[in-house]
Amino acid sequence: MPVTIVLGGQWGDEGKGKITDALAATADIVVRPNGSTNAGHTVVTDEGVFKLHVIPSGILYPHCTCIIGAGVAVSPPDFLREIESLRERHPRLGQLYVSDRAHVIMPYHPLLDLYEERRRGAAGIGTTLRGNGPAFTDKIARRGIRIADLLPGSEHSLRHKLEMLLPEKNTLFIHLYGESPLDLDQLFEQARTWGEALAPYVIAAEVFVQDALDAGKSVIIEAAQGTMLDPDYGTYPYVTSSSPTAAGACQGAGVAPTQVDRIVGVFKAYTTRVGAGPFPTELTDETGQLIRERGREYGTTTGRPRRVGWFDAVAARYSARHNGMTEAALTKLDMLDPLPEVRIGVGYRIDNQEVSAPPAQVERYAAVEPVYEVLPGWQCDTSQVTSFDDLPPEAQRYVTRIEELIGVPITMIGVGPARHQILWRPAGALT
C-alpha cells in the first residue's frame, strides 16, 4: 500500500492533528517523522479535547499502530507523562513504538535553549525552550545520545559518552552563561532510569515500517510544524531544527520517496505563526484579535498567543510546489464567519518590485509589502454545514480562489474542531 504524508503548508499550527486523526480512521500505521515535544497537535473527539505533543494523532484509534520515527528528538520524561495522561482518559489506545535511532533531549538541552535565548535578548528566536534546537545541534555535530544508548545493557557506553559530553556543556554553563554545572552521576542515573522505562516501546522503526508496507499496510506520516519553518527553505534563522517538508518526512520516517503517492498539505483559512520572524500578512488590529480569539490561537504546548494574519497565497504556493502536494486541506474556515470582507495575500512587493516567492534573506522578507485581493465575507455560521455545496457562495468562492492560487485541489475543509466537521471533496472536484 502507498504512503500518505500529512504536512503543514504554513508556519505550523495548521490543524494537522485533526486531518491526521480523520485519515487514521482507516490507516494501519501513523508515523511521526520530525520535531519534538515543541510541536502540539490537538484532536477533538466525543470524549473531549486531546492535546498531543510527540505521540502521533492516530493513537486514539485502538487499531492504529503509532511510531515515533528516527527524525524525532524525544524527551523521555515528557513522552512517558504523555502516555500516562492518555491512558487515564482513553484506556484503549493504539500500539505505540519509538525508534531506537531517535535522538534524546537530555537534561542539558532545555537549559542550553533557555540560556541562549536569554543571551540573545531582543534578537531571540522565540523557541519553545524545550531543548529541541540544542538536541538537533548535537545530532548534526555527531555527539548526540540516541534512544538505543539508554537501553539496559548499554550502561558502559552511555557513561563513556556522557563523560565526553558533559565537560563541554558545563564549560558553557559556567563560563558563557554564568550558571551552575550538572553532575555526571546524577545525569547518568537519570538517563539509565529513562532507558528502563522506555525499553518496552523501542523497536527498529524503519524496519517495522518497511515490513508493514511489504505486507500491504497503509501508512500515514504525520509531519510536525510547517514548511515555512524548514531550516533550508523557511524564514531562516526563525525556523525549527528538523525538516517539516515531504522530503524530511520520508527521511525521518524511514520511507522512500517512491513509496509515497499522496501528499496532503494542511493550511488554515488564514495564517498564523509563533515566535519571531517575517510575517507579511500579519494583522495587529481588531480583526487580528477577533480571529485569534475565535480560533483560540494559543500554542498547544506553550500557551503562547499566536500571531495572526490573512491567508498568504505566495508562501502557500511556494510550499505546495516545494512539497509536490497532491491535495490540500483548509481548516478553520468558520473562524472567518463574522467578517464583512476577507483578504488574500496574492503577491509580494519589495522596493516597488514584484517578488514571486519568499526571498532567502530574512531582512528582505521582513521588508515585503503584501498585495491583497479583497473578497466579500459571508457573515453567517458555517459550523453546521455538512457539504461544500451548502456553504454560502462567498465562502465557496474564497475556498476556490485559494485553490486557484496555490495550484492544488482542496479536498477537505474544516468548519469546526470535531471529527465530523470536515467537508470532504473528491480530488479534482474544485476548479
Tens digits of per-residue pLDDT, 221-252? 999 999 999 999 999 999 999 999 999 999 99
| Residues taking part in catalysis | 13, 41
**pLDDT at position 428:** 54
**pLDDT at position 129:** 82
Distances in whole angstroms, Cα of residue 381 to Cα of each of 45, 54, 221 = 21, 34, 33
Please report the sign of the dihedral spanned by the C-alpha atoms of residue 150, residue 154, residue 158, residue 159: positive
CATH class for the domain made up of 3-90+205-424: alpha beta
Measured in degrees and rounded to the nearest 5, phi and psi for residue 387 equal -150, 155
**What Rg do the C-alpha atoms of the chain give, in angstroms?**
22
How far does CA 14 lie from the centroid of its chain? 8
Which residue matches cell numbers 525521518?
252
- Read off the C-alpha cell for 248: 524530511
**pLDDT at position 301:** 64
DSSP, residue by residue, 242-309? S--SHHHHHHHHT--GGGEEEEEEEEESSEEE-SSS--TTEE-SHHHHHHHHHTT-B-TTT-PBPEEE
**pLDDT at position 328:** 98
Whether domain 104-198 has CATH 1.10.300.10: the reply is yes
Measured in degrees and rounded to the nearest 5, phi and psi for residue 242 equal -130, 165
Task: Please state the domain extents for the chain.
Answer: 3-90+205-424, 104-198
Do 3-90+205-424 and 104-198 share a fold? Answer: no
DSSP, residue by residue, 293-311? HHTT-B-TTT-PBPEEE-E
**Measured between alpha carbons, how far apart are the two ends of the chain, in Å?**
29
**CA 13, CA 24: separation in Å to the nearest integer?**
19
Q: Tell me, letter by letter, the H, E, C secondary structure of 102-166.
A: CEECCCHHHHHHHHHHHHHHHHCCCCCCCCHHHHHHHHHCCCCCEHHHHCCCCHHHHHHHHHHHH
3 state SS of 171: helix
**pLDDT at position 427:** 66
pLDDT per residue as tens, the chain (431 positions): 689 999 999 999 999 989 999 999 999 999 999 998 866 777 888 788 888 889 998 898 999 999 999 999 999 999 999 999 888 888 788 899 999 999 999 999 999 999 998 988 877 777 778 889 999 999 999 999 999 999 999 999 999 999 999 999 999 999 999 999 999 999 999 999 999 999 999 999 999 999 999 999 999 999 999 999 999 999 999 999 999 999 999 999 999 999 999 999 999 999 999 888 999 999 999 999 999 999 999 876 667 889 999 999 999 999 999 999 999 999 999 999 999 999 999 999 999 999 999 999 999 999 999 999 999 999 999 999 999 999 999 999 999 999 999 999 999 999 999 889 999 998 655 44
**pLDDT at position 430:** 45
